Structure 1
Amino acid sequence: MNTAVVCSGGLDSVSLAHVLADAGKLRRIISFDYGQRHRKELDFARAAADRLGVPFHLIDLSGVGAALSGSALTDDIDVPDGHYAEETMRITVVPNRNAIMLTVAFGLAAAQGDAAVATAVHGGDHFIYPDCRPAFTEAFAAMQRTALDGYADVALLVPFVHRSKADIVAEGARVGTPFAQTWSCYKGGEIHCGRCGTCVERREAFDLAGVDDPTVYEDADFWRAAVAGRGVA
C-alpha cells in the first residue's frame, strides 16, 4: 500500500516513516510549516525523506498558523516544564492542527495516487490533543471517504493510536530508526532542553522501552523528578 506519512521530524513520525519504509510501503513524506517556533524540526523531516529515498513535500501553512493564536508553539508564550500529561501542557495546543494538516495531506495523496495517509498520533497524546484521539481519527477517516467519494480511495493509517510512546521507540529501534536524527523539544534550542513536556516524555519512553537514548539534553536528569511527581519545576 503506497503510503504518505505526515512527518514533523519528531521521534514518533520519523519512526513511523522508517517502519513503513522497512515494509516497502513508504511513498512520500509530507511536512507542514505552520509558523511553529521550533521549525528546526522540519530539517529532520527533510533528512528522513532523503535518507529513505522518497519525495519530500513541505507545505506552507504559516498564514493559517498565524491565525491560530494562543499556543506556546506559535506565539511568544513560554513553554512550560514538566510531564507531558500535565494540565499546563494544554498551552501547546494549536486548535485543529492535525485536522487541517491531514485534510491537506489527503488532498495531496489523492492527487498523487497514494493509497493511504499515515500519522503517528499515539495514546500519550490523548490527554491534551483532541485531534489525536481515536474518536477524531475514526470520524476523520469517515469524512474523507465522503469527501473523496468517486475520485480516490485513500485510507487513514494510525498504527500507534492505541499504543504508547515507549511502543513507538521499540518499533523504531526494531527497524533501525536513527533516533539522534529526530527532534522533539518544544523550545527549539541548540540541543533538547530536557525539561519541557516532550523532552520528559521522550526520555521516559526510552527508559520504558529499554532502549538507549542517544539524545543530548541540557538537563538530562530532570525527567526523573517530573515523572515521579507528574509535576512542574
Structure 2
Amino acid sequence: MAKVVVIYSGGMDSFTVLHRAIKDGHEVYALSFNYGQRHVKELDVARQVTNQLGVPHKIVDISAINELIANSSLTSDAAAIPEGHYEEASMQSTVVPNRNMILLSLAIGYAVSIGAEAVYYGAHSGDHAIYPDCRPEFVQKMNDVSRIANYEPIEIAVPYLHCNKGEILADGLAMGLDYGHTWTCYNGRERACGKCGACVERLEAFASNNCVDPLAYESTT
C-alpha cells in the first residue's frame, strides 16, 4: 500500500481526489492550507470529512503569506468576488499568485518527511483557461522538479487533469460520494451564493449529470 499526500481543500474536486486515492488502495494523508482565503469555511468541511473517514489530516496556517499575495479577490476583502461563468475574463481576479507552486512545495516536503511516494492535487481541464498553475505544462514541470528536489523522488499525481468538472463529478457519483460534504463557493457565507464562478461551474456539473446539488444556495439564477 503506497503512502500518499492529498492536498485537500474541502471543495468537490479535492473531495473526489481524496476518495479516488483511498479507493485506489493508497494510505492517504490529507493536507489543507489556510492561506487567508475568504472561503475559509471549506477547511471546516475538510476537517469534518477527514474525521468521518479516519484519515490523518493536517491544516497548516500559512496565512502570513497573504501580505505577499493579497491582490486576488479570494484573499482580499478589497476586491469583490466576480459573478458569472468561469471562463469570463473577470475570473482572472480569483487567481492567487503562485498558489499551487507554494502548496505543492509544502506538500512535497511533507511527503518526504513521512515517507510518502506521491502528492495528489485536483487540477482539471476546466481550470486550464484561467489558472496557469493548473495547466498540463505546469504539472509536468513541477513533477520534473519534484523528482529531483530531494533524495526521495516524489510524484505529483493529478488524476483529473484532462477531465472537466462534470466528468469529475461523474466519477465521484459512481463511487457513491455525497457532495453535501463539500464547499465550493468563493463566498464563505452560510449558504453558497450560486452566482460566483465556482458555484456556476458546480451547478453546471450537476446539471450535466442529471442530478441535484445537495448544497443549499442563496440563488441559482
1:218 Cα offset (Å)? 0.8
1:98 Cα offset (Å)? 0.4
Task: For 1:74 and 1:36, locate their aligned partners in 2 and report how far apart those are by CA, in whole Å.
Answer: 5
Give unmatched runs, 5+ long, in structure 1: 223-233
**Correspondences of 1:67-78 after superposition (within 5 Å):** 67-76=68-77, 77-78=79-80
Aligned AA for 1:111? S
Conserved in 2, the CA contact under 8 Å of 1:34 and 1:66?
no
Partner of 1:177: 177
Gap change, CA 1:26 and 1:185, over 3 Å in 2: farther
Task: For 1:93 and 1:26, locate their aligned partners in 2 and report how far apart those are by CA, in whole Å.
Answer: 31
**Correspondences of 1:56-71 after superposition (within 5 Å):** 56-71=57-72
SS at 1:27's partner residue? strand
Partner of 1:17: 18
Task: For 2:42 and 2:69, locate their aligned partners in 1 and report how far apart those are by CA, in whole Å.
Answer: 20
**Correspondences of 1:119-138 after superposition (within 5 Å):** 119-138=121-140
Aligned AA for 2:61? D
1:26 Cα offset (Å)? 4.1
Task: For 1:62 and 1:15, locate their aligned partners in 2 and report how far apart those are by CA, in whole Å.
Answer: 25
**Correspondences of 1:141-156 after superposition (within 5 Å):** 141-148=143-150, 151-156=151-156
Aligned AA for 2:96? V
Give unmatched runs, 5+ long, in structure 2: none
Partner of 1:83: 85
Aligned AA for 1:68? I
Aligned AA for 1:93? V
Aligned AA for 2:145? M
Gap change, CA 1:11 and 1:26, over 3 Å in 2: farther
Task: For 1:26 and 1:194, locate their aligned partners in 2 and report how far apart those are by CA, in whole Å.
Answer: 35
1:139 Cα offset (Å)? 0.1
Task: For 1:163 and 1:134, locate their aligned partners in 2 and report how far apart those are by CA, in whole Å.
Answer: 12
Task: For 2:7 and 2:164, locate their aligned partners in 1 and report how far apart those are by CA, in whole Å.
Answer: 19
1:170 Cα offset (Å)? 0.7
Partner of 1:110: 112
Partner of 2:207: 207
Task: For 2:213 and 2:24, locate their aligned partners in 1 and report how far apart those are by CA, in whole Å.
Answer: 24
Partner of 1:43: 44
Partner of 1:228: none
**Total equivalences in the alignment:** 219
Aligned AA for 2:135? R
Task: For 2:27 and 2:172, locate their aligned partners in 1 and report how far apart those are by CA, in whole Å.
Answer: 15
SS at 1:72's partner residue? coil
1:80 Cα offset (Å)? 1.1
Normalising by structure 1, we get a TM-score of 0.91
1:48 Cα offset (Å)? 2.0
Instruction: Give % identity.
Output: 44
Normalising by structure 2, we get a TM-score of 0.96
- Asked whether 1:217 is paired with 2:212, we answer no
